Amino acid sequence: MTRNNEKIRPSPWPHRWAWLLACATFPLIWVGGLVTTNDAGMAFRDWLTSDGTFFLFYDWLSAAGDKFVEHGHRLLGALAGFLSLGLAIVTWRCESRGWVRQLSLLVLASVVLQAVLGGMRVVLDERVLALIHGCTGPLFFLLCVMMVVVTSRWWKSGVTLAEKGPAAKVFRLAVLCTGLAYLQLVVGAALRHSPRMTHESAGGVFQLAVYFHLVLAALIVAYVFLLAWKCFRHRLQRVTGLALLALVAMQICLGLGSWLVKYGMPSWATRLLGERTFVNHADDGLQAALVTSHVATGSLILAASLVIALRVARQLDYGLAKLPQVRFGQGETVS
Amino acid sequence: MNYPTLNKLEAFTKLQGLCVLAVVLAAGCDTAEPPAFRLNMVEAVVRETPPEYSQEISDVLGAMFGTPDQPYALAETGLDQAKLDMAAGPAWSDKKGTNFGLYRKHCVHCHGVTGDGRGPTARFLNPYPRDYRPAVYKFKSTLNAARPTDADLHRVLMNGVPGTAMPSFSLLPGSEVEALVEYVKYLSIRGQMESALHMVVYELEEEEVVDENGEPRRDEAGEPLLQRTPLNPATYPEQREEILSYLEELMEGWNTANEQIIVPAEDQIPGDDRLPEEVLASAEAGRKLFYGKADCKKCHGPTALGDGQQTDYDNWNKVHHEFLVEIGRKSESIVKRVGDGELDKAAEQQLINDRVELARWQGVAATLYKPRNAIPRNLRQGIYRGGRRRIDIFHRVFTGIAGTPMPGSGPASPGAKGTLTEAQMWNLVDYVLSLPYEPPSQPLKALPVNVDEVL
């Protein structure tokens, strides 16, 4: 591979590797959600070992129940770690943009930090750390998605818009949606972990989390609808915009279903609709699937909002002019 | 009913929750403390137990029952220590895959560490989760005042409670369900013992203050100086004996539960091979009882849609309702006395004492949930919280639902006389089970204005 920037052709490998990492991280978030749903975080009381065996050599397939779920999470975490390392190596070898290289290092550092947080949650048996671990997981996923976007051929082609007014509004909306979606994930993590906290004020935390979760959900629905409409109207990121809208619609249904299978009908709803005729089952597949899907879809909404924000920012040339400019091939400029 | 005090305190609690979340997140692991059982402060305040006894009651309970992480099965309770160890403490699994901390994993978010029905999610649930401490259970096969059997508790855990947040734990291994049953009993016995300790404290008399030689100290008038007697069964053998006698008394209720199971007479149980006409005739007889002798329409309504009385409370909510009403009374009394003008020295001192007392009550009120009315069941939905088997409905009719306004129609104790005969109760069972299948127009016939004509 030549280092001559004037003649180099962009390598597809960083992009492929970033996709691989993002695809491995999404199930990691799923299984992480399942660990919380099953309260399996303390299935093993040790880390980096699992029941005294170094975790990579633990006989996972012979494990059952909580141990199977928790160890699956550990193994997927390790896979994400190795893929992050691979991404950093590939990016440093094949990518000439300095900030992308640095971003790949940030991804690697994040996965290590995330693993340590998860490990400390086990070693210290501390639920607050589990909550923080649940909040930082989606941030790592966002970094992976960011790597996918910035290493794509579309990004490198650098198409800018002639009329920037409407796109600027879309960008601002997308950033707002990303922020709200992340805040919602943090509140959701508090909502999921506070019921199992034994602190005297856990009830107050849960109550606040429920109210904030509902308010944020209403805001996200409103802003995502507005964002999708503007994307469609101004022919900007239409597919992602519609996908985001569909995800939010699905998320509302999953959220209602999660509450119903976990906590039943609230009294006001019972007065309006009557009582449910079915009995919830603790630890059943429906509950696990609904609740965990709700968590995972939250991360997808976050990722989709970020993709729109990043891609529109690219089209607007926002903040990118200050980054090192590298020329590829025949006059192609990549920032 | 609106409770202004409660609403204000609720808002404060929300703010407090936010602060605690911020502090916990900021301070991280340093704030982690082992969970502790909390005292029943409503009972302490209502029974006027002096605040200085709170810690001593807590200490005695700790010595008798241990902590949420390390429960202790007192020999007198007959509880199984191994099962308690499996159910208590934080959730984890040993190398063999045996799960521990089952209560913390499955129950604590609703029923709370103490089993007081005030877990973090409880405020949002309908109905509020059960408070185990009074040892009153709704769905059981025993007489109204009796404790439930292990089989009753086991059945509720396995079947869940339809129409509520209480799930079925039928997917859990049998040993785990049994451990949970044992732990629920443990929390109930502990709660009952806490009530008994308030009685012990109430009966304590002041003791003389003695000097280093063991001689009583006297005041200027020559009267012996008195001080409160601490609650300490380790140094006061008579307290120990009294506590053990209370324990024995409350354990008798649990140990004799199996003797108080309602067993219907064999010859009165309707067979499964009845003809449809026989079932209809039985249901029709039940219908007449529903609107007549059994007077079910009073609560379940003339349409059986649960639209009868709506203002009553179950025991758990009634305690809190009355507590809040009493705060209102105390508050009004203070306002009135202040408004009345000048007070003499004694009245002023009384006012100060009452204000301190009111502050204590309000502090406890801040932790309560808004009381909810006991809304009678809509019998036309086919949702039976205590189970849908014929025998389950029979038990509800026979013994009522303990702790709720639902009365029993059978004898309250062995040898007593009930409102209905067993045959009539089986008629009611047939009618109740037929209600979800009546034509939609059927309820309209039995409106209050024409109920007499219908019958």
Portion of chain A with pLDDT greater than 70, in percent: 92
Which residues in chain A have their CB less than 8 angstroms from residue B17's CB? 201, 203-208
Rounded to the nearest angstrom, the minimum Cα separation between A230 and chain B is 36
A181 contact partners, CB below 8 Å, separation of at least 6: A220, A298, A301, A302, A305
H helices present in A12-126, as ranges: 13-37, 65-94, 98-123
B22 interfacial to chain A (CB closer than 8 Å): no
Kind plus residue range of the DSSP H or E element containing B93: strand B92-93
Cα diameter, chain A: 72
- Please report the pLDDT score of residue A271 as a whole number: 78
* Residues with Cβ within 8 Å of residue B255, at least 6 apart in sequence: B78
Are B58 and B235 spatial neighbours (Cβ–Cβ below 8 Å)? no
Cβ of A65 within 8 Å of Cβ of B97? The answer is yes
Whose structure tokens read 């000439």? A96
User: If we measure between CA atoms, which residue out of B393, B395, B398 comes closest to residue B430?
Assistant: B393
CB of A333 within 8 A of CB of A319?
Answer: no
Give the pLDDT confidence score for residue B221 in this predicted structure: 83
Task: Determine whether B222 is exposed, middle or buried from the number of CB atoms within 10 Å of its CB (0-12, 13-18, 19+).
Answer: exposed
- Closest alpha carbon to A208 in A194, A222, A226: A194
Could you give the CA distance from residue A31 to residue A72 in angstroms, rounded to a whole number? 7
Distances (CA, A) of B178 to A224, B150, B175: 49, 9, 5
Question: Touching check for A332 and chain B: CB below 8 Å?
Answer: no
What's the distance, CA A78 to chain centroid?
17
A58 touches chain B (CB under 8 A): no
Measured CA to CA, the distance from residue A131 to residue A41 in angstroms comes to 11
Q: Which tokens go with A256?
A: 């209602």
Residue B81 is predicted with a pLDDT of 97
H or E element, residue B352? helix B345-365
Q: What angle do CA A164, A169, A171 make, to 5 degrees?
A: 90
Question: Which residue in the set A124, A262, A282 is minimally distant from B172, CB to CB?
Answer: A282
Task: Domains for chain B: give ranges and CATH numbers.
Answer: 35-205+232-261 (no CATH), 262-312+374-454 (1.10.760.10)
Paired tokens of B336: 């009135």
Return the closest-CA partner of residue A111 out of A89, A87, A80.
A80
Q: Mean pLDDT for chain A? A: 89
* pLDDT for A41 beyond 70: yes
State yes or no: cis peptide before B435, omega within 30 of 0: no
Measure CB to CB from residue A204 to each of B13, B92, B162 and give the nearest one. B13
Cβ distance B120 to A210 less than 8 Å, yes or no, reads no
Q: How far is B330 from chain A (nearest CA, A)?
A: 27
Query: pLDDT in tens for each of the 455 residues of chain B?
Result: 556 555 554 554 455 455 445 545 544 444 467 899 999 999 999 999 998 999 999 999 999 999 999 999 999 999 999 999 999 999 999 888 899 999 999 999 999 999 999 999 999 998 999 999 999 999 999 999 999 999 999 999 999 999 899 999 999 999 999 999 999 999 999 999 999 999 999 999 888 888 888 888 888 888 888 888 999 999 999 999 999 999 999 999 999 999 999 999 998 899 888 999 999 999 999 999 999 999 999 999 988 888 889 999 999 999 999 999 999 999 999 999 888 877 788 888 999 999 999 999 999 999 899 999 999 999 988 899 999 999 999 999 999 999 999 999 999 888 888 899 999 999 999 999 999 887 755 554 444 444 444 44
Contact A125 B90 (CB under 8 A): yes
The 8-class DSSP code of residue B124 comes to: G
DSSP assignment letter at B203: H
C-alpha dist (Å) from residue B116 to A267, B84, B86, B260, B306: 20, 18, 20, 26, 28
**Rounded-to-integer distance, Cα A39 and Cα A33, Å:** 10
Q: Which of residues 270-289 of B touch A (CB under 8 A)?
A: none
Of A124, A126, A282, the CB nearest to B167: A282
* Alpha-carbon gap, residue B419 to B402, rounded angstroms: 17
Burial class (CB in 10 A: 0-12, 13-18, 19+), A13: middle
Residue of A nearest to B305 (CA): A274
Question: How far is it, in rounded angstroms, from Cα A195 to Cα A191?
Answer: 7
Would you call B104 an interface residue with chain A, using a CB distance cutoff of 8 Å? yes
What is the rounded average pLDDT of the residues A147-176? Answer: 88
Q: How far apart are CA B228 and CA B224, in angstroms?
A: 13
What sections of A151-201 are H helices per DSSP?
153-157, 165-193
Interface ipTM: 0.85
Q: Range with the lowest mean pLDDT among A126-140, A273-287, A296-310?
A: A273-287
Residues of chain B contacting residue A282, judged by C-beta atoms under 8 Å apart: 106, 167-169, 171-172
Query: How many residues would you count in chain B?
Result: 455
Are the beta carbons of A152 and A15 closer than 8 angstroms?
A: yes
What angle, rounded to 10 degrees, do the helices at B4-27 and B345-365 form? 60
| Beta carbons of B17 and A263 less than 8 Å apart | no
* AA identity, residue A242: L
- Terminal Cα-to-Cα distance of chain B (whole angstroms): 35
Phi, psi of A333 (to 5 degrees): -105, 130
Instruction: Inform me whether the pLDDT recorded for A68 exceeds 80.
Output: yes
Mutate: best of B9, B103, B126, partner A, most A CBs <10 A: B126
Using the Cβ of B29 and the Cβ atoms of chain A, whether some distance falls under 8 Å is answered with: yes
The two structure tokens encoding residue A138? 């989606």
Q: What is the pLDDT of residue A1?
A: 40
Phi, psi of B218 (to 5 degrees): -125, 155
CA distances to B49, B217, B230 from B210, rounded to whole Å, are 25, 5, 15
**Residues of B with Cβ-Cβ distance to A267 under 8 angstroms:** 126, 372
Task: Determine the distance in angstroms separating the CA of A205 from the nearest CA of chain B, rounded to an integer.
Answer: 5
pLDDT, tens digit (0-9, with 9 covering 90-100), for A91-113: 999 998 999 999 999 999 999 99
Cis peptide before B127 (omega within 30 of 0): yes
Range among A158-172, A208-222, B264-278 rated most confident: A208-222
Residue A303, pLDDT > 70, answer yes
Touching check for B111 and chain A: CB below 8 Å? no
User: Using CA atoms, how far apart are residues B339 and B333, in angstroms rounded to an integer?
Assistant: 10
Q: How many CA atoms lie within 13 A of B24 on its CB side?
A: 26
Query: Would you list the domain boundaries of chain A?
Result: 1-158, 161-316
- Top-confidence residue, A140 or B4: A140
Element (H, E) at B208: strand B207-208
Q: Closest Cα partner for A320 from A188, A91, A193, A159?
A: A159
Q: How far is B201 from chain A (nearest CA, A)?
A: 26
pLDDT digits (tens, 9 = 90+) for B66-114: 999 999 999 999 999 999 999 999 999 988 889 999 999 999 999 999 9
Nearest CA in chain A to B119: A203
